[in-house]
Amino acid sequence: MKRNRTSLVIVLVVALLATVIAGPSAWADTPTDTSALRDAVTVGGVEEHMAALEAIAIAYKDDGYRASGSPGYNVSADYVAERLADAGYQVTVQEFDFPFFEELSDPILEQLSPNPTVYPPYDDAGFATMEYSGSGDVTALVQAVDVIIPPAAAANTSTSGCEASDFADFIAGRIALVQRGTCTFALKAQNAEAAGAVGVIIFNEGQPGRTDAFIGTLGGPVVTIPAVGAAYAVGEELYNLSQAGEVTVRMMVDAVSETRTTSNVIGDTPGGRDDRVVLVGAHLDSVAEAPGTNDNGSGVATLLEIAEEMSELGIQPRNQVRFAFWGAEESGLVGSEYYVSQLSKRGIKDIALNLNFDMLASENYALFVYDGDGSDTPDAGPNGSANIEDIFVDYFASQDLPTYPTALDGRSDYDSFAAVGIPVGGLFTGADGVKTEEQAAIYGGTAGEQYDRNYHTPNDTLANADLEALDLMSDGVAHTVLTFAMTTSAVPGTSKGSTQAMKTPEFKGPRAQW
């Protein structure tokens, strides 16, 4: 009898271990039935919010559409706050300052003498305005500052303009010609302005892969003089001519670069455990050049529809759900970064996970899920991110919908949460990547073209949004939000989110800093 009892215990222990090892399904309690919420969340309801945001954008087109710091953004924030409050959420508007930049017209860079030449703007062989460049139209002699022509064998070798002493012989009133290299563009531009330069041309360093014109950033409004990034060939030409005699150049940048105030809009459910918060986010701002109906009116509208329908259905979440609408995402993820920076250690631990939804209606879409475990892409999220991924993947599989992994590469608002160890996940229908033949066979659309051919353009409108993709994605969002809102378990392996990230993804935005 003792032998039999021992054998039974062993069998039970083995069965228990097998259950624990089995994977994501083992952590959850009884699966949540999300069908009522998914039925209530309609594509028509999401579309209504997208149309409202687009109407705001069109009304403020001449003021930069819905970019943070613009009137259109402020009206968008008011719209979101009012809808959340009407649905019974506790609304907080969190203001913060951020560096604002908007280029108002194409820049000019031309050599007036000795060889009149017009350099093409936003062309690999020409030049581009530095983000946060000062504004001005200047004509002056060019003076090179500590450049290396021909370039050194190794990249990031030139220290041109990195030290104030580089400008010891600089003549005030001239345009400084400096070379890309070991320090930030901001430092080069600041040193040039301090030496009396009326403009600064930062040309590429010249090694393979570092020859074209580039779109750089100064990181903020740190100078008042025009600043551009030019191709190596442009800099080489101006340098060689300046060694033989005087070179006169005209440069013009027409832009606004200043510090502005904007806001995040936060809506909390009145109930639920506030030490296990399900934080669901989407960025509210557009770029200044576009109405932003897909990027990211689609994410904002989806979350608003879910928030309103949860309230309408009388859902009482076990865990508090926090709907967050971020400002200044297009300026470098500033709003979400500010939000995280204001959290205490306790506040970080109280956030169980962050779900991020940035573009859910791309015209040439595919269904992407953030690769939480890094099994298919280079970057894994913090502990627990893999289980968020599994919830999404399992849901779409239950609907016979294939999904593809997309990298947690730091290009959206989850980044700051991942950096402090909070599990992250989300959905995405594609931006400037290119659709594959396999994806076109599954979802339709056109292989070899961008997922969103209207990305960051004036054509990012409701007329160009794919409502089928939006319908599929909004159901996936609703399912996952409610699943985590109702679970009695913590996201496994995290103890409600550690304060140490497994890996901090590097923000890979479109503008280089050095």
Question: Which residues are CB-contacts of 303 (< 8 A; sequence separation ≥ 6)?
Answer: 280, 281, 282, 323, 325, 357, 477
**Angular region, 430: left φ>0, alpha ψ -120 to 50, beta rest:** left
Whether residue 186 contacts residue 167, with contact meaning beta carbons closer than 8 Å, is answered with no
Amino acid identity of 133? S
d(CA 414, CA 357): 9
What is the per-residue DSSP string for 359-370? ----TT---EEE
Per the annotation, the verdict on 329 as an active-site residue is yes
Q: 193, 309, 329, 330: which is the annotated catalytic residue?
A: 329
Q: How many CB atoms lie within 10 A of CB 138?
A: 17
Q: Which helix (H) or strand (E) holds 100?
A: strand 90-103
Please provide the distance, in angstroms rounded to a whole number, between the alpha carbons at the two ends of the chain: 76
d(CA 76, CA 376): 37
Look at the chain and count its residues.
514
Question: Tokens 């022509």 — which residue?
Answer: 149
d(CA 175, CA 51): 47
Q: Which residues pair with 120 in a beta bridge?
A: none
DSSP character for 314?
T
* Catalytic center residues: 329
